[in-house]
């Protein structure tokens, strides 16, 4: 029994144990199911994470690519920049070199200009002079830069009188006054050693942003020109004088023939002789005109002003030209104010002015035209001589040349062979010398009006060696 | 033709251009002058002395030799000169105006530019001057 019991108890134990094991197994299985479930969930999550990771990875890959591309682009840009910088630097260098070359070339040009050159600032202080300046005036750059041009380099007029600070063209240009270069008005420049030379100059303002910041003066030593001009004028004078002798011969011989002093001539012969006489007379007039021009240019014509009745003078000039006026059937209308006072002028010269203006008006007006001559007073007590015509007029593009010596307008050269191109030049010289003005208005094929003003004040007596030839 | 009256005025013409001398002489004779011509200042002076009775002188400025018409006039018009009263007409083409002034200052009667005057005018000028001074 005991054994049995023992067996029973043993089998019970086993059963127990089995039961326990079964239980444990069940529990384990349950656990496993749970775990499996959990695992399934985890797997799902894992999958989701994996997917997310995959997306991110993809995104990352894209970003990386972009980054790479950007990096590449940046590299390219950097390279380009470097290249451009290099080119730019080269260009700048080249340009700088060019500019330096241009600058030194310009400086070389300025320095080597044969004319004297001086640049001043707006105070008139010298900022640059060229080599010719140094040579002509005897000043060195370092001695003179920064000093006042007008003070350091004096100017004298042709009579040796110093030109005042105010009158200096440089001063006037810096003050904003418009100045037309007057090359016909030479002066003397005084060198450092006080010697002098005749010069002519042009002064122009340096304008920056519409403001005058300085001035440039270019001047020339005109010793040679003056000599040549003098020789030329003297030649004209001499030649003209010499020409008069044979002219006198022709004059007097034809005169004697014409007057019948050496026997009667037929009327046909007389006509021929008259042509000779008149042609010669024209030559005499031309020679006289040339002499007047040479006197004007030598500055040797003498002005002898005296109280002159300009109306009387005008009337006598009209009488003198009556033949030509009537020949062309020109209607002349004189109009002289009653109260014209005596003008202080050289009657001989004033007569020449009126003669020239009237004969021009008649000459350059077609037949049956009109010529007006008037003398009046203006408010400023100037006498105004006005000569108007209905003639050919002066072409607009030649109006600025009409007072130039020997100039004749295109539209009259073919029409009239007698003009010399000297009359208006002489007339203007005379009027201006007397302190007056001579100008005109003209429309081609309508007519021209010349105006001369003469001041009633004193006319300076000019000491010249010669008077205008009397006629 | 009426013969010339004996009391013709005598004119001394001092001029060197031969063609001019010829025509001046012809004209002045026509105008009733007795004409004596000279080519230089010295010749003129000697004719004054030799011929005598010169009533009027026609004088050019530039003449051959050193002396010009101005020297001639200066000599004639010097104080106490016996010929100082003879009127002188300068007829020239070439005298400068300063010379013209000197002539007038020295007391010449008239200055005229040849090329600008008819012979007629000059001859009658001289005649009327002489007539005027006679009255």
Q: What is the 3-state secondary structure (H, E, C) of A59-111?
A: HHHHHHHHHHHHHHHHHHHHHHHHHHHHHHHHHHHHHHHHHHHHHHHHHHHHH
Give, as one character, the DSSP assignment of residue A264. -
B71 in Cβ contact with B41 (< 8 Å): yes
- Reading phi first (left if > 0) and then psi (alpha if -120 to 50, else beta), residue A439 is in beta
Residues pairing with A377 in the sheet: A383
Residue B52 lies in a domain: yes
pLDDT value, residue A147: 94
Residue B1 lies in a domain: no
Q: Mean pLDDT across the stretch B1-22?
A: 79
Higher-pLDDT residue of A420 and B129 is B129
pLDDT band (50, 70, 90) for residue B91 = very high
Inter-chain residue contact B115 with A247, CB threshold 8 Å: yes
Inter-chain residue contact A262 with B93, CB threshold 8 Å: no
Inter-chain residue contact B118 with A252, CB threshold 8 Å: yes
**pLDDT digit string, tens, across residues B97-110:** 677 888 888 888 88
Chain B positions touching A256 (Cβ under 8 A) are 23, 26-27, 119
What does DSSP say about strands A331-336 and A306-308: parallel, antiparallel, or unpaired?
unpaired
Q: Mean pLDDT across the stretch B8-23?
A: 93
B39 in Cβ contact with B64 (< 8 Å): yes
Smallest Cβ–Cβ distance between B26 and the set A247, A262, A302 belongs to A262
The pLDDT mean for chain B works out to 87
Q: How far is B18 from chain A (nearest CA, A)?
A: 10
Residue B100 lies in a domain: yes
Residue B84 lies in a domain: yes
pLDDT value, residue A384: 93
Q: Single out the residue of A358, A355, A337, A335 nearest to residue A347, CA to CA.
A: A355
Chain A positions touching B17 (Cβ under 8 A) are 245, 249
User: What CA–CA distance (Å, rounded) separates A459 from A431?
Assistant: 11
Q: How far is A256 from chain B (nearest CA, A)?
A: 8
Helix (H, G, I), strand (E, B), or coil: what is residue A453?
strand
Inter-chain residue contact B115 with A249, CB threshold 8 Å: no
Angle of helix A267-298 relative to helix A423-433, nearest 10 degrees? 40
Q: What's the domain count of chain B?
A: 1
pLDDT band (50, 70, 90) for residue B23 = very high
Helix (H, G, I), strand (E, B), or coil: what is residue A10?
helix
- Where helices occur in B31-115 by DSSP H, the ranges are 41-51, 69-76, 97-106
> Phi then psi for A226, rounded to 5 degrees?
-65, -40
pLDDT at B2 over 70: no
Residue B2 lies in a domain: no
CA trace torsion A342, A344, A347, A352 (10° rounding): -100
Inter-chain residue contact B20 with A469, CB threshold 8 Å: no
B66: domain range? 9-134
Taking a contact as any Cβ pair under 8 Å apart, which residues of chain A between 362 and 381 contact chain B?
none
Residue B3 lies in a domain: no
Residue of chain A nearest B102, judged by CA positions: A465
Q: How far is A143 from chain B (nearest CA, A)?
A: 48
Residue of chain A nearest B94, judged by CA positions: A241
Residue B97 lies in a domain: yes
pLDDT value, residue A292: 83
User: What CA–CA distance (Å, rounded) separates A288 from A294?
Assistant: 10
User: What CA–CA distance (Å, rounded) separates B119 from A254?
Assistant: 10
Inter-chain residue contact A467 with B97, CB threshold 8 Å: yes
Please report which helix (H) or strand (E) contains residue B120, including its range: helix B119-134
Residue identified by tokens 């025509």 is B23
pLDDT value, residue B125: 92
Q: Single out the residue of B29, B30, B48, B28 nearest to residue B38, CA to CA.
A: B48
Residue identified by tokens 């006489």 is A277
B63 in Cβ contact with B40 (< 8 Å): yes
Q: How far is CA B131 from CA B112, B121, B127, in A?
A: 19, 15, 6
**Biggest CA pair distance of chain A:** 219
Smallest Cβ–Cβ distance between A248 and the set B20, B97, B120 belongs to B20
Q: Is A249 on the interface with B (CB under 8 A)?
A: yes
Residue identified by tokens 């008069």 is A244
Give, as one character, the DSSP assignment of residue B115. G
Q: Single out the residue of A425, A407, A417 nearest to residue A364, CA to CA.
A: A417
Q: How far is CA A199 from CA A162, A241, A387, in A?
A: 14, 31, 38
Q: Is A234 on the interface with B (CB under 8 A)?
A: no
Q: How far is B48 from chain A (nearest CA, A)?
A: 26
Smallest Cβ–Cβ distance between A245 and the set B27, B93, B100 belongs to B93
> Phi then psi for A420, rounded to 5 degrees?
-110, -15
For an interface test with B, give the residue of A237, A238, A245, A461 to mutate (most B CBs within 10 A). A245
User: What CA–CA distance (Å, rounded) separates A149 from A139?
Assistant: 11
Residue identified by tokens 């201006």 is A432
For chain B, list residues whose CB is within 8 angstroms of any CB belonging to chain A: 17, 19-20, 23-24, 26-27, 30, 93-94, 96-98, 100, 113-116, 118-120
Q: How far is B92 from chain A (nearest CA, A)?
A: 9
What does DSSP say about strands A331-336 and A343-345: parallel, antiparallel, or unpaired?
unpaired
Tokens of B88: 């002188």
Chain A positions touching B25 (Cβ under 8 A) are none
Q: Which residues of chain A fall short of a pLDDT of 50?
A: 459-461, 463-471
Order of strands across the sheet that contains A437-443: A331-336, A370-377, A382-389, A447-455, A437-443
ipTM value > 0.90:
no
Residue B128 lies in a domain: yes
User: What CA–CA distance (Å, rounded) separates A349 from A352?
Assistant: 5
* CATH classification at residue B107: 3.40.50.2300
């Amino acid at each position: 029994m005991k054994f049995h019991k023992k067996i029973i108890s043993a089998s019970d134990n086993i059963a127990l144990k089995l039961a326990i094991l079964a239980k444990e197994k069940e529990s384990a299985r349950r656990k496993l199911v749970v775990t499996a479930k959990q695992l399934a969930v985890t797997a799902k999550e894992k999958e989701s994470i994996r997917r997310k990771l995959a997306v991110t990875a993809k995104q990352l890959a894209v970003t990386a690519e972009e980054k790479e591309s950007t990096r590449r682009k940046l590299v390219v840009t950097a390279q380009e920049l470097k290249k451009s910088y290099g080119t730019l630097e080269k260009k700048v260098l080249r340009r700088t070199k060019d500019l330096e070359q241009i600058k030194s070339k310009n400086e070389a040009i300025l320095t080597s200009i044969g004319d004297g050159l001086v640049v001043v600032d707006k105070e008139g202080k010298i900022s640059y002079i060229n080599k010719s300046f140094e040579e002509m005036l005897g000043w060195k750059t370092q001695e003179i830069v920064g000093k006042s041009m007008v003070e350091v380099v004096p100017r004298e007029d042709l009579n040796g009188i110093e030109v005042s600070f105010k009158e200096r063209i440089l001063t006037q240009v810096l003050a904003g006054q418009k100045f037309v270069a007057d090359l016909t008005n030479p002066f003397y420049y005084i060198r450092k050693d006080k010697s002098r030379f005749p010069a002519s100059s042009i002064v122009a303002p340096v304008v920056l942003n519409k403001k005058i910041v300085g001035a440039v003066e270019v001047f020339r030593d005109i010793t040679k020109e003056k000599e040549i001009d003098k020789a030329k004028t003297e030649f004209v004078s001499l030649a003209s004088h010499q020409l008069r002798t044979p002219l006198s011969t022709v004059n007097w011989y034809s005169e004697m023939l014409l007057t019948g002093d050496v026997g009667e001539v037929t009327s046909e012969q007389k006509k021929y002789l008259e042509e000779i006489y008149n042609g010669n007379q024209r030559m005499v007039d031309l020679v006289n005109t040339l002499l007047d021009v040479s006197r004007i240019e030598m500055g040797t014509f003498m002005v002898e002003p005296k109280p002159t009745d300009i109306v009387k003078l005008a009337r006598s000039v009209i009488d003198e030209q009556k033949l030509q006026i009537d020949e062309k059937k020109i209607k002349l209308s004189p109009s002289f104010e009653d109260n014209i006072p005596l003008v202080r002028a050289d009657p001989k010269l004033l007569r020449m002015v009126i003669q020239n203006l009237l004969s021009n008006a008649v000459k350059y007006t077609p037949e049956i035209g009109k010529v007006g001559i008037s003398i009046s007073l203006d408010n400023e007590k100037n006498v105004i001589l006005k000569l108007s015509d209905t003639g050919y007029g002066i072409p607009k593009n030649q109006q600025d040349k009409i007072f130039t010596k020997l100039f004749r307008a295109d539209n009259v050269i073919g029409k009239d062979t007698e003009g010399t191109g000297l009359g208006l030049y002489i007339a203007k010289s005379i009027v201006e010398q007397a302190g007056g003005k001579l100008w005109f208005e003209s429309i081609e094929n309508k007519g021209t009006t010349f105006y001369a003003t003469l001041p009633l004040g004193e006319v300076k007596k000019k000491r010249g060696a010669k008077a205008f030839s009397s006629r | 033709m009426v013969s010339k009256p004996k009391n013709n005025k005598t004119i001394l013409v001092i001029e060197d251009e031969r063609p001019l001398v010829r025509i001046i002489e012809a004209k002045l004779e026509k105008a009733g002058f007795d004409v004596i011509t000279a080519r230089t200042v010295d010749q003129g002076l000697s004719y004054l002395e030799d011929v005598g009775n010169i009533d009027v002188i026609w004088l050019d400025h530039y003449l051959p030799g050193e002396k010009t018409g101005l020297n001639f006039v200066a000599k004639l018009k010097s104080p106490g000169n016996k010929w100082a009263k003879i009127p002188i007409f300068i007829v020239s083409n070439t005298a400068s105006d300063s010379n013209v002034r000197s002539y007038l200052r020295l007391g010449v009667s008239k200055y005229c530019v040849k090329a600008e005057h008819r012979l007629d005018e000059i001859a009658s000028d001289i005649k009327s001057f002489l007539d005027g001074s006679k009255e």
